[in-house]
Structures are given as structure tokens and as C-alpha cells.
Structure 1
Amino acid sequence: MRGSSGILILIIFTTCWDEIYCQCGETRGCSYFPANCDPSTPDCISFVWTYDTAAGKFAMTITGGPGITSYAGVAFTQQAGMQDGDLYYCTGEKLQSAAITGQVPPADASNAAAGLENITFGVQNGVASCSFTRPTSVKKTVSSGQEVTFDLTTTKYYIIFARGSFSGGALVYHGGGATQRGVSASPVNLSAFDGGGVAGVPSLVKAHGILMVLAWLLLSNLGVTIARHFKPLFPGVEPGGVKLWFQLHRFTMITVLLATISGFIIIFVQVGEFADHIMSHAVIGIIVMGLALLNPTMALFRPNPNAERRPIFNWMHYSVGSIARILSIANLFLGVEAYGSLTNWIAILGGFVGWVVLNEIVLEILSFHYLHTVLGMERNVARNEVPGSSLEVDEGKGEAVRGQTVKTVVLVIYALGLLGFFIAFLVAVLGD
């Protein structure tokens, strides 16, 4: 009895719950979206395939969604985005071949022209399912009318997943949410069944996002705030012989520049070319990169504090920095939407903007009240030659400036809030 029980237990633990998912990574490839989802549920898109070397054909099965008024799609692309892809989508009532040409509805292609055979479809236990065979090599017309060959045996492809509504015989845009769209972590060799990994955001894309959020959500806002509201504070405090406010401003903004350059390089390494499938995000990113390089370059050639051209420099430095800051925040929204890795971060970024505006208003009121504004400084503080401004405090004996404590407390609270937003983003991205 004991031996029989052991055999029974062994059988239970070595038998697959569904035959189609047996031997994943061995005799067949399997990929799922979202991560670790249950393919027996409509919330999970599963893609399972086998390769018949002798016949030169792939047998593929796509499941996901309730079907009929919804679709589950799988596409093969050489980029980790919706651009120039070989698409197949399943509604439970049909299996359709199509081509992705960019951020526009995909164009249906003839199943017969794509060489699809043995097509079956239906809804089983509330989950749409489609199966078919595909030749190793298929030609499809993509962007700019180019005909591209998708050969699954000679080229590795990203596996792109998407789900959405199906209405009037056409696909409805899937949206950018993390539950609507995903991509394999790296290009997949479909003939070697190495698609066992789940879909998600590539690591280099995550690194790009983290660096840009560090630069433009956290550090740039602190650097700008310190330069605008803390010049007259902490008189006599000169680490390294330079005013404290300027040391802090310079450190944060140099770090912003380094993080931006790093993020810029990383995303080009990941994408390999201009990402025209997310045109707005890409163009604004290039502009921000240019402005981030321009402002410190101008600072290297700034006139002396009392020079006639100094006001011109001050306005140019302020204007370039402000434009870069505004565009970068807009691009954070576009970046979250483009890759859809965080479902609720549009609202969270809105909260971040509100936090920045609130603190700017509070500090403006305090600076005006304590005569730390330019007008107040012109009337109440002495002129000294210090980096970044012709207006500074009279050092005296290093006595605390009026309002110094309360403004410092506001700055600390502001910084902690920004840090909280950054940590929340970091946790969400790394946990995706």
C-alpha cells in the first residue's frame, strides 16, 4: 500500500493539469502575459507553439479574453514596441493575420496569403482560443509600404502581447495599461522553444525610466528650488569656499545631467534606432537632452555678477532650465503611457505635479514675506560676487537670516515628498 501510495503521489505531481502546457521549454515554447498568469482564465494571454522541422511549419495556439467582443493578440517584432510586426489575433469567432505598422490600427492580411492552415477557433470555459499552423517564413507589408520577411527560424523576435475590444469587425486600441499590453523581456528564438519567460518591460527600459524619474522628478525640482529660494540663507556657510546654495544647486543639476545622458544612451541601446512608434515621447526626450546639455554649457561662460550682460545670462539660464523642466514632466506622463508598465501612474504623476505646485506657492509666499525675493534683496542685502547671482547677503558674522528655519523645514518636507514619489515609482517598476 505504501508503495502504491507513493506511485499515486508521483503520478499526481508529474501529470500536467492541461496537456497543451506540458513540456514547455522542451518540446514546445510557452509565453504568458501578465507574469505568472493562469492560462485557464480570460485575464491571461497564453501563446504556445511547436516547430515541425521536417514540414517547416509552426503550430501555434493563442488563448485569452472572453472572446466575441474582445481580442487577444500576439505579434513578432524586432523592436520592443508596436512597430513593423507580424500580428495574429484571436476573438473566439475567428483567427486573423495582420500587420502592425505603428501607432495606427493594424491592417488585416489574408490568412491564405500568410500560408496559415489548420485554423480552429472557439470559446472554451469562458476563454477564447485559436490554433493554426504558420510557415517558418511570412512576408507582410509594414510601415512605408515596405514588404518585410518574418522568418522565425533565422531571426529572434520580441513577442508582443495585446488585448482590447473587438467592435464592428475591427480592433479597438488596447490602451497603454500594464494589463493591456506587454512584451517579452528579450528577443525569442522560437525554433528553440526559449519563450518560457513571461512578458514584461525590458530591463534597459526600466533603467531608462528610473534614471529619468530620478533626474526630473526628484533632483531637478530640488536644484531649481534651492537656487530660487535659498540664495540669501545660511550666510557664512561656504563648503569648499563656495556658497552652500550654489554647491547644492550645482551638485543636483550635474547629477541631473549625468542621469539624463545615461538614460538617453540606455534607451538607444535598447531600441537601436529612433523610436518613431512613440514619436512624441522620443522627440521631447531629444529636446530635453539638448536643453540639459545647453544650460551647464552656458553656465561655463557666464559673465561676472556685475557685468552688463549678466541679466541676459540670468534670464537665458532660467528660461532654458524652466523649459527643460516643464517638457521633462510632460514626457514622464508620455513615457508611462507609452510603455504601460504602471496602470495608475498617470494619476500619481498628477499628484506629483500638485505637490510641486503647492510647495512652489508656499516658498514664493515665504520668500516675499521675508524679503528674499529679488525686489526685497535689492533693498535689503548687499551685493557680493557669488556664482549664479549678483545678489547675495552681507556675510556679517554668519548670523541666521530671518525666515531661514521655516523655509528649511518646508524644503525638507518638500524633499521627503519628492523622495516618496521616487521610491514608489522605483518599487513599482522593479516589481513589474
Structure 2
Amino acid sequence: MHRNKTAKLMVMKRNLPITPIVLMRATVAQSYAVFWKNIESNLVEVVSRNTVIDTTPMVSTTTTITPPIIMESKPSPPPRSVDSIYQGCSDTKLCFGSPEGCIQKADCQGIVTVFVAGDEYTFEVQATGSPKYVAAALSMDSKMGDDSAMECVQNNGRITLHASWTYPRTEPYVNRNDSPQNILTPLASSFVDGKLYCRFRRDTVSTVKGITFDLANKQYNLMIVAGSTMKDENRVGFHDKVYVATGSPMALSVVGTAAGPSKLLLKLHGCFMVAAWIGSASLGILLARYFRQTWVGKRFGGKDIWFAYHRIFMVATWLFTIIGFILILIEVGGYATTGDNPHAITGLVTVILCFIQPIVATIFLAVYLQKAELPNWTVYILAAFVAFHVIMHLILSLTVCVADGRITKGRVNVFPMKDMMGHTRQASAIDRDADAPYSSFRKLLLGVYAPIIVILAIVVICLVALAPIVQTYNNVSEVLNNAVANNGTNK
């Protein structure tokens, strides 16, 4: 009896139209990092509207739930909150900050914004690093001096707003008494997590030191400066944290991000000075000090080899120094010192006493110049240069001492500096006819010294030309980290 029912059922199913059977799989997420995949449904028969449905029970399948999968990479951290001062920089207000490109990343060391609503001009200033003051200024050019400044000053948590006037490289440098204070109206201020912030309104038209500042109808260079000290209760100190101005005058009603000035001349100055005093001067001095009795009998341009190349390197040193000095004079608009850093003073000594100036100290001081934007670890590269230079001099000096013990008393292999400055002496026949002992070893040392010095000079030149290189490195690191995080998320 059981067999007949089965056969009858099979005959009935042959008369039915063929319909597809669907198995569904799903993925269910519990959290960002934990989820289940390949959860299967029961078999589902898909039929059309006119299909006769067979009510014969289907064979059921067993569904197994796979254990949760833990992602190997951690989820990306939530985006950090952005200071309100950066909101609207692309569409509602004018923004200018330092260093270059910081506004897009919302991490400026100093920033000024201008929001225009009708005839009202609202300014915001902010600086990081626990400054004593942050100030914005309206200037006729990109240089400090003869500017109407607006100071946001904090003292033991108390924040005050002041208008002041700046003077170009002369005392008192900045003075609040020369500017009316009622042209500014404070709106908000804060000092949180080392960030000093002020928001205030400035009169559309004001007169300071006999000069009319018309924000609606005139264009100005916008400056942002910040410093860590005060000269006294009424004067801010040197802007050792931030100092930058827009590259050209602009209307304050413009919306978007303002561009800073070109740094081409500043970078060229640094590159020429490095090429002069790390590159060519080092080689020229070494040749004159230790190689006067090497390549004897060989000439270049009618002169002994050592002297020909010594002269080439020292002329290059002088030429690069003069070019670098002219470039920086053009950049700053004349000779000027920079706060407490004596780089400008020692640099002037470099030009006046071109061949006997203290080259190392001057280059070291340049690392800490605000405008140079060099990473602090540049000092270690310069220290490596000094150490290598000294070690080579010691080795060559020892070589000379050993050589002097093996030659006759009348033969001289090393010369005092007075001989290299133009005093003549009579060379013996041995001097003219043969290389001094250990000449091959000295040539080997020169072969090691020259390329290393060139490489060090190129590295420092690249740091100067690509500054701020730390910012570039951070940008690249951020891109790589985002790429790694995205790759882990997509697994």
C-alpha cells in the first residue's frame, strides 16, 4: 500500500510545471568588528501566479550558524572634533594660517579668520602651544612694521584684547598707546589645552597713526603672529611661535583660504650657503692643508693640482656666499636681526670675513630660525658633518706627523696657515720631484671624504628646499595609515 501511494504521488509531480528552488544566504552584523556570514535559509520554491502548488512537504535542511569572525585590523578611530574656527573656511569666511596647508587639516599653529556680514567685520585668532599672545595685523605689505595690529593676550588665565601699532625694526617695535582701543569689540575668548582664542569685531573704518583703514573698500596683507613672551605689561614680545603674512594684498570680504608669500628666495639663500660652507669650503680647506705635496709634477691649468682645485673650491665658496647674501637681503628688504637668534649677525661676519669666519656656528643657528622651518634633527646631520670633518683632519694630521718622521729634516709636508695666506717659501728638490710619504693613503681618504661631504651637503640642501619636511612626512604617513586602515576594513 505504501508503494502505490508513492508511485501515485510521483505521477502527479511529473504533471506539474518545473519551478525554481532558491536557497538564501545572509550576513548579519552584531557590531563593526563582529558579524556572522553564510547563514542559510530553508529551501524556497519560486512559483508564478498560475502555478499549481504542490503541498507535499519538502525535505528540510539543517542550518548551522558559523561562529563570529573577529576582524584582524582594529576599526578606524572616530574622526577627531574640529575647532569651530575652521568651520566655514571654504565657503563663508576668509582664513589664513601657518604652516602652509594647515587649514585643510585643521591643525594650524596660528590662524586668523575674517567673517563679513553686511558692514560688520568679525575676526578670529588662535594659536597653539600655550602662547602668551596671538595677534592679527592689517599691513600694506608682507613685512612687519607700520601695521595696525589686534592682540589677544593671556596672563594667568585672564584674556584681554588690545589694538596696537607696529614699527619697522626700531623701538618700541609695538605700542598700544599709538592706536585707539575702541575700534575693537570683544565677543568671545578662551584658553583651553594650550590654545589661545579670541573673537572680536573691528570697526569697518578706523584711523590709526593718521592712516585710514577702510576694510570694505581697501585691500590689505593679512598677518598672523604669536609669541611666548611679553616685553612688559603693555608690549608683546618677539613672535617666536608664528609669523607669516599673505603673499599679496586682498579684500577681506573674499571667501576661502589665503595663500602665503613665496619662499623661493629664502630657500635659495639656504641652499647656496650650505653648498658654500659644507660643500666647497670643506674640500678647499682640506686640499690646501694636507695635499700640497701630493700629485707632484702634475698640473691643471698651469698650476699644481692641489692649488688649482683649492682655488676652484674657494672661489665657489666666495661666489655662493655672495649670492646667498644678496638673496636674503632681497627677501627681508635689507639687513635685519631675528629676535634673539644671532644668525643674521654671524652671517654678516661670514660675508665680511669670508674665508676665516666661524662657519659651523652660523649654520647651526640657522636650524632654529622660524622662517627656515627645518626639523630639529637637522642639528644631528650638522653634528655628523662636524664630527666627520674633525676626524678626517685628525687622521690626516697624524699621517703628516708619521710622514715627517720618515723624511729628511729639510722636507716639509704640512704648512702653517700663514703659508697658505700668501707667504712664499722655497721648496726643496725633494718637494718638487716626488710625492710625500703616505700620499696614496691621503688620496684614499680624500676619495672617502669628498663623496660623504657632497652627500651631507645634498641632504641639508634638500631639507632646506623641501621645508617644512616634517609636514610633508606627516602628510605621507597619514595617507599610508589611511590606506592600511581601509585595506583592513575591506578584508
- Scaled to the shorter chain, the TM-score interval is 0.5 to 0.7
The aligned length equals: 369
Q: Rg: which structure is higher? A: 2
**Could you tell me which of 28, 47, 52 is aligned with 2:112?**
47
Tell me by how many angstroms 1:125 deviates.
8.3
Contact 1:182–1:200 under 8 Å retained in 2: no
**Could you tell me which of 352, 361, 367 is aligned with 1:330?**
361
Consecutive unaligned residues of structure 2, counting only runs of 5 or more, are 1-81, 414-419, 469-491
Give, in whole Å, the separation in 2 of the partners of 1:349 and 1:175: 26
> 1:50-71: per-residue Cα shift (whole Å, max 9, x none)?
356x73x63211123376x754
> Which residue number corresponds to residue 467 of structure 2?
431
1:189 partnered with 2:220: no
Q: Secondary structure at the match of 1:285?
A: helix
Q: Secondary structure at the match of 1:359?
A: helix
> Which residue number corresponds to residue 309 of structure 1?
none
> Which residue number corresponds to residue 415 of structure 1?
450
Tell me by how many angstroms 1:148 deviates.
7.4
The 3 A distance-change label for structure 1 pair 160 and 258 is: farther
Tell me by how many angstroms 1:348 deviates.
4.3
1:88 partnered with 2:150: yes
Tell me by how many angstroms 1:88 deviates.
3.4
Q: Secondary structure at the match of 1:380?
A: coil
State, as a whole percentage, how many aligned pairs show the same letter: 23
> Which residue number corresponds to residue 199 of structure 2?
131
Give, in whole Å, the separation in 2 of the partners of 1:78 and 1:353: 43
Give, in whole Å, the separation in 2 of the partners of 1:41 and 1:419: 39
Contact 2:83–2:106 under 8 Å retained in 1: no
**Could you tell me which of 215, 229, 232 is aligned with 2:276?**
215
Contact 1:184–1:202 under 8 Å retained in 2: no
Q: Secondary structure at the match of 2:247?
A: coil
Contact 1:155–1:189 under 8 Å retained in 2: yes
Code of the aligned partner of 1:427: C
The 3 A distance-change label for structure 1 pair 331 and 238 is: same
**Could you tell me which of 352, 361, 364 is aligned with 2:394?**
361
The 3 A distance-change label for structure 1 pair 249 and 94 is: same
User: Which structure's residues are more often helix, by fraction?
Assistant: 1
> Which residue number corresponds to residue 273 of structure 1?
334
> Which residue number corresponds to residue 5 of structure 1?
none
Root mean square deviation of aligned Cα: 4.4
**Could you tell me which of 97, 122, 127 is aligned with 2:190?**
122
Consecutive unaligned residues of structure 1, counting only runs of 5 or more, are 1-16, 142-146, 293-320
Give, in whole Å, the separation in 1 of the partners of 2:385 and 2:459: 11
Q: Secondary structure at the match of 1:191?
A: coil
Tell me by how many angstroms 1:116 deviates.
0.7
Q: Which has the higher contact order (CA 8 A, sep 6+)?
A: 1
The 3 A distance-change label for structure 1 pair 258 and 167 is: closer
1:366-377 equivalences under 5 Å are 366-371=399-404
**Could you tell me which of 301, 306, 329 is aligned with 1:240?**
301
Give, in whole Å, the separation in 2 of the partners of 1:377 and 1:158: 73
Give, in whole Å, the separation in 2 of the partners of 1:128 and 1:396: 71
Code of the aligned partner of 2:223: I
Tell me by how many angstroms 1:371 deviates.
2.9
Give, in whole Å, the separation in 1 of the partners of 2:163 and 2:175: 9
Contact 2:110–2:126 under 8 Å retained in 1: yes
- Farther-moved stretch of structure 1 (271-280 vs 239-248): 271-280
> Which residue number corresponds to residue 59 of structure 1?
122
> 1:119-173: per-residue Cα shift (whole Å, max 9, x none)?
32125787443111224666667xxxxx877776656436243353789978886
Contact 1:184–1:201 under 8 Å retained in 2: no
1:162 partnered with 2:226: yes
Give, in whole Å, the separation in 2 of the partners of 1:38 and 1:367: 59
Code of the aligned partner of 1:259: F
Code of the aligned partner of 1:162: A
Give, in whole Å, the separation in 2 of the partners of 1:138 and 1:221: 57
Contact 1:261–1:289 under 8 Å retained in 2: yes
Give, in whole Å, the separation in 1 of the partners of 2:246 and 2:363: 22
> Which residue number corresponds to residue 79 of structure 2?
none
Give, in whole Å, the separation in 1 of the partners of 2:345 and 2:320: 18
- In the superposition, the TM-score normalised over structure 1's length comes to 0.68
Code of the aligned partner of 1:338: L
Give, in whole Å, the separation in 2 of the partners of 1:113 and 1:123: 22
Tell me by how many angstroms 1:194 deviates.
8.4
> 1:239-286: per-residue Cα shift (whole Å, max 9, x none)?
222211111111111111221121122112112222245694444433
> 1:316-336: per-residue Cα shift (whole Å, max 9, x none)?
xxxxx32xx31x433323433
Give, in whole Å, the separation in 2 of the partners of 1:399 and 1:60: 77
The 3 A distance-change label for structure 1 pair 381 and 39 is: closer
Q: Secondary structure at the match of 2:97?
A: strand
> Which residue number corresponds to residue 374 of structure 2?
342
The 3 A distance-change label for structure 1 pair 249 and 392 is: farther
Give, in whole Å, the separation in 2 of the partners of 1:127 and 1:29: 20
> Which residue number corresponds to residue 302 of structure 1?
none
